[in-house]
Structure 1
Amino acid sequence: MTKLYSRRLFLSAASAAAMTLPISARANAPARSLRPVSRDDDLLLELQASAEELIADARLNGDVSFVVARADTGEVLEAHDADLGLPPASVAKALTAGYALAHLGAEYRFTTRVLATGELIDGVVQGDLILAGSGDPTLDTDGLATLAQGLAAAGVTGVTGALKIWGGALPYVRGIDPLQPDHVGYNPSVSGLNLNYNRVHFEWHRAGSNYSVSMDARSAKHRPSVRMASMVVEPRSTPIYTYSDVSGQDSWTVARNALGDSGARWLPVRKPELYAGEVFQSLVRAQGIAVDEPQVIQALPEVVNQLASLDSAPLRDILYDMLKWSTNLTAEVVGMTATAQRTGRVPKNLEESAQVLNTWAADSLGVTTLALTDHSGLGERSRVKSKDMMSALIALNKQDALKPLLKTFGMRDARGRPIDNHPIKVHAKTGTLNFVSGLAGFADLPDGTELVFAIFVANLDRRATLSVAQRERPEGGASWNRRAKTLQQKLIERWGVVYAA
C-alpha cells in the first residue's frame, strides 16, 4: 500500500510540475528506463528534468555543487561540480555536532558554578564570591536565578569581599563574524560565560512625542534590567542602529524614524561576562544577599570552595536544539570545547579551533580538504566541497549519532505550502547566508532506499558587492534564496524518482 500511495502522490505532483517544465525537459526523456518499470514508473521517469535543466531554470547566476549517493554503500549516483569548494553556511553545524559528540560524548554537560575564596562562617562568605562559567551556551536568566536561590539555600547571607566574574574557560570573541552589521543578534560575542545567547532585549514604546526604552535580560520568569547596555533614540532615518564601546559599556543609538509606535528586538552583547555579572548581582540581591558591583577577572584563584552549581542539559539535547534553531553561539562554544578536549588546551580563537576540526575530519572521516574557519558557518571564508560533506555524513551515519539529531526538512508545493505525508522523508541541515544556500543530509525513499546528499549554491560575485550595512536584508536576497531552496527540493524529488531501488 505504501508504494502504491507514494506512486500516486508522485504522479500527481509530477503531472502538475510537467506543465511548468521547459520544453527541453519534456523532449529529452531517457531513451530507455534505468530498470524494469511499470507504465506508471516509465511516466515518472519521462517527467523528470535533468539536473542541468533544473539548475538553469533556477536562474541563480552563480555556482552549484551537489552530490547524491546511496547511504549504505557510498555509491555516487549523481554529481555536479562536486569538487568545487563553496561556503557551507550553517550546514557546517552538522560537522560541528559530529565533532562535539566524538570528543565530549552525548551525555556531556556544561557546569556553571558559584565559588568562594574563603569559608562560610555564620552565613557570611569570608572572601570573594565568584560566578564561574564553563561556556554553557544555553545558560539563561532563569538559570542564574536558580544559582542565586542555591546560595540562599546554602545559608549565605553576606559576603566580606567582592563579586567576581570569570569567563576564561573559553577565549573571548567580540563577534563570530566581523563582517556582519553590529546590531544582528545572530552574531554575538563568545565567552566562557554566556547568558541568553549573549543577547539583550531592547523594547520601545511611544510616549507622546518621545519614546520610553528599556534594556533587560528577560527569560521565562525574570526580567532584570541591565546597565551595561544603553539605548538612545536619535532624530535620524539612517543608519537604524549604531554601536560604540563607551567606558566599557555597550552604547547603542537607534533612528527615531525606524521605530513606529512600539516594538522589540534582541541585540548582541559585546561584554558577556559583565552582562552575566550584573544580572547575577540583581538576582543575588533579590535573595537578600548584599553584594558589590561585579568585577571581571582573568584567572580563577587556586583555592576555592563551591557553594552552588548548575548543570546544562546533556550535549545530545543541546545539539538537537542547535541544529533545529541554527544557533551560532552554541556551535562556536561546543566546537571550541571539543577542541580543548582534543588538544588539552583552550584554543586561541575560532579559526584555530576550526582548523583542529578540519584535521579531525581528515583523520577520522577521511575528508582531507575541509576548510572551515569557524564552527557555525557564519563566516564567509569557510569552504566545503559537496563530495566531502557527503563523505563526512556517511562516516558519521555509521556511528548512528548524527541523523537522529537532524531536523525534518519539510517538502513544499509550488506555492510554498507544506506537503503533508510527502513520501520522501528528509532529515537535513540547512544553511543560509546572503546569496549562499546549502542543504545536506539524508533522504529516505518510500521503497526503503536511503540517500545521502549535499547541495551548495552560491553567487559569490553578487555577495561581494554588498556593504556591511546591506548584509541584513540585501536587495534581491530573499528571492534568490527562495529559488535556491526550490532547486534543492526539485533535486531531491528527482532523485526520489530516478534512484529508487
Structure 2
Amino acid sequence: MLKRVSRRVFLGGALGGLASLSWAGAPDVSLRPRARPGGFTESSVPSVEELIRESRLSGVVTFSVIDVKSGDVLETHDGYTGQPPASVTKAVTALYALDALGPDYRFETRLLAGGEVKDGVLHGDLVLAGGGDPMLDTDQLADMAARLKAAGVREVRGKFRVWGGALPFERVIDPSQPEEVGYNPAISGLNLNYNRVHFEWKLSGGKYTVTMDARSGKYRPDVTVARMQVAARDVPVYTYADMGDHDAWTVARGALGNGGARWLPVRKPEAYAAEVFATFARSHGIKLEMGQPPERAPEGRVLVTHKSETLDEILRLMLLYSNNLTAELCGMTATARRLGKPASMKDSAEEMSRWAQTTLGMPGAKLVDHSGLGETSRLRSAALAQALAKVHKDGLLKPILKDIPMYGSNGQVNVAHPVKVVAKTGTLYFVSSLAGYLTAPDGRELAFAIFTANPELRKGFDKGSGARPEGARTWNARSKDLQQRLLERWGRVYGS
C-alpha cells in the first residue's frame, strides 16, 4: 500500500525543508571516486570517460547522480546542458499532479438529468459529463448505463448530450507523429479506452472483412464514429480524413496479409464515448437521441457517478506503461486545479515548467507537453537529479516508479543483482533517458538522471513516415548499455 501524504505535507516538508542541503557548487565534470572498502578503486572501476568512449554512442551524454540523504553531488557530466527528456517528463508530471491534486484524488464521470424524473421518464436532457478520467473504459460505461436503469430511468424525452469541456480539446498530442499511431490520440475532458479504437481485419475468399470496435475487458461494441476502408494500393499504409461526424481511415490492401489487428487513435473522443454509451443504454431499453454538446459546464441532478482509481494508482500505471494520454490528462487537470482550465496543452505544459523551476528548483525546465512526446522539450540532468533527491523524503514518487532490471555479465537479467533501481525510462528515435533512484549494495540511496540524444541524427529522418530510421535500433541499444554500466559503476563506487 502506498504511503498517503497530504498536499500540505508534500509542499511544506518535501519541497520546503531541504534548502540546507548542498545543492550549490555541483562540479561541471565527473568526480574521481575515492577508494572504497572491498577493493573498488579508481583502478578497478572504469571512469565515466572510459564508459562513454567504450559505448561508441554518438551524440550528447549528460547525467548527474546525488546522495539523497546529504544532497551531495557525487558525479555529473554536462549536467547543465538541456536535453530532450522524452517520457522521463512523466516523472515531473507525476510530481506536478500529486502536488496539485493529492494522491487520493479521483476523477469523476457523471450522468446528469436536465429535468425531472417521473414514473421512469426523464423530462429533459441526459448529459454524459467527463471529468478528465484517463482510465475510463467500455466496461465502465456499460456499468454506468446499467446504473442509470437501476436509478429508475426507462425513457429520456430530451436529448442525449456529452460534455468534454472540463479540459481543452487537442486533436493530437504531437503533430509531427504519424497519423495512425495509437500513442498520439486526441485529448478531451471525456475520453474512452485511451482514445483508441480497435481495428481488426480478416481475409476470407479473397476479400477482407474489417471491424472497428471499442473493446475492453467484457465488451466489444462496434462503432461508426471511426470507419475503415481497404484500398487497392501498397503505400501509404494508412490515410486519415476528418469527415465531420466520423474519422475516415483507409488501409493499403498490400500491407494486410491474411489477418491481424491494431489500435488506431480516436480524433473524436466525445462522439466515441457517446456512441458506446448509447449502445449500452439501448441494451437496457433506453433509447437516446443525440443532441449538441452543452455550451458550458452542465448542471442538474446527478443520476450516476463513476469514480476512477486514486491518482497515485493511475500515476503508477502511467509510469509503468508510459501512457501519453494519461500524462496529458493528469497534467492538465493539475493545471486546472491550480489556475483554472488551461487554454491548451501547451499552456498547461508551460505552467508545469514554471512550477518545476520554482517549486522543484529546476532551472532550464522547458516542457511543451506533459508526456514527453514533443521533441523540443528540454530538461537538465543536474536539475532533475536534484529535484528527485529533494522529493525523496515524501515517499510519493519512488513507490510508483517501475523496477529497472540490472543485467549480469552474461547479458541476462540478474534478479539477485545487489544494485536495485526504480526509474522512468524515456525513448524517442536517437533519444534515450533514464531517471529515478538507485539503492546501492550497502543501502545508500542515490537520485540520478541520464539523458542521451543525437540531434543531428534526429534531423535526418522523416518523422511522419512511421518507418524506423536506419541505425536507430543500434543507437538505442548502445545508450541502454551505457545506462546500465553507469548504474553499475555508481553502485560499486558509492555503495560498496
TM-score (norm 2): 0.91
Distance 1:414 1:182 in 2: 41
Question: Per the alignment, do residues 307 and 362 of structure 1 end up closer, same or farther by CA in structure 2, a change over 3 Å counting?
Answer: same
User: Displacement, 1:399?
Assistant: 1.7
Distance 1:318 1:446 in 2: 31
Q: Equivalent residue for 2:329?
A: 333
Pairing 1:2-401 to 2, within 5 Å after superposition: 34-35=34-35, 37-38=37-38, 40-41=39-40, 45-293=42-290, 295-301=292-298, 303-343=299-339, 345-401=340-396
Q: Equivalent residue for 1:417?
A: 412
CA contact (8 A) 1:115 1:130 kept: yes
Distance 1:33 1:64 in 2: 19
CA contact (8 A) 1:90 1:326 kept: yes
User: Displacement, 1:300?
Assistant: 3.2
Question: Per the alignment, do residues 122 and 455 of structure 1 end up closer, same or farther by CA in structure 2, a change over 3 Å counting?
Answer: same
Deviations 1:359-401 (CA, angstroms, capped at 9, x unpaired): 2122222223211111100100100000011111112212221
Task: Tell me, yes or no, if structure 1 residue 480 matches structure 2 residue 464.
Answer: no
User: Displacement, 1:297?
Assistant: 3.5
CA contact (8 A) 2:389 2:446 kept: no
Distance 2:408 2:264 in 1: 35
User: Displacement, 1:347?
Assistant: 0.4
Question: Per the alignment, do residues 70 and 471 of structure 1 end up closer, same or farther by CA in structure 2, a change over 3 Å counting?
Answer: farther
Deviations 1:18-57 (CA, angstroms, capped at 9, x unpaired): xxxxxxxxxxxxxx9823634x445xx5332221121122
Distance 1:234 1:273 in 2: 28
Q: Which runs of 5+ in 1 are unaligned?
A: 1-31
Distance 2:263 2:408 in 1: 33
Aligned residues: 465
CA RMSD, Structure 1 to Structure 2 (Å): 1.5
Equivalent residue letter for 1:380? E
Distance 1:33 1:277 in 2: 61
Deviations 1:144-168 (CA, angstroms, capped at 9, x unpaired): 0111011010011101111101000
- Matched residue SS, 1:282: helix
Equivalent residue letter for 2:404? F
Distance 2:125 2:338 in 1: 33
Equivalent residue letter for 2:488? E
Deviations 1:119-164 (CA, angstroms, capped at 9, x unpaired): 1011010011110000000000001011101101001110111110
Q: Equivalent residue for 2:488?
A: 493
Equivalent residue letter for 1:423? P
Q: Equivalent residue for 1:451?
A: 446
User: Displacement, 1:262?
Assistant: 0.9
- Matched residue SS, 2:359: helix
CA contact (8 A) 1:174 1:190 kept: yes
Distance 1:403 1:486 in 2: 23
Distance 2:255 2:44 in 1: 49
Q: Which runs of 5+ in 2 are unaligned?
A: 1-31
Question: Per the alignment, do residues 368 and 469 of structure 1 end up closer, same or farther by CA in structure 2, a change over 3 Å counting?
Answer: closer
Equivalent residue letter for 2:175? P
CA contact (8 A) 1:354 1:373 kept: yes
Off by >6 Å, runs of 4+ in structure 1:
none
User: Displacement, 1:237?
Assistant: 1.4
User: Displacement, 1:480?
Assistant: 1.3
TM-score (norm 1): 0.90
Equivalent residue letter for 1:35? A
Distance 2:277 2:468 in 1: 35
CA contact (8 A) 2:66 2:389 kept: no
- Matched residue SS, 1:283: helix
Equivalent residue letter for 1:400? G
User: Displacement, 1:471?
Assistant: 4.4
- Matched residue SS, 1:492: helix
Question: Per the alignment, do residues 441 and 149 of structure 1 end up closer, same or farther by CA in structure 2, a change over 3 Å counting?
Answer: same
Deviations 1:195-247 (CA, angstroms, capped at 9, x unpaired): 00000000000011110000000000111100010111112111111111113
Equivalent residue letter for 2:194? Y
Deviations 1:69-119 (CA, angstroms, capped at 9, x unpaired): 111112111111111101100001001001100110000000000011101
User: Displacement, 1:497?
Assistant: 1.2
Q: Which shifted more, 480-489 or 465-474?
A: 465-474
Equivalent residue letter for 1:315? L
Task: Tell me, yes or no, if structure 1 residue 442 matches structure 2 residue 437.
Answer: yes
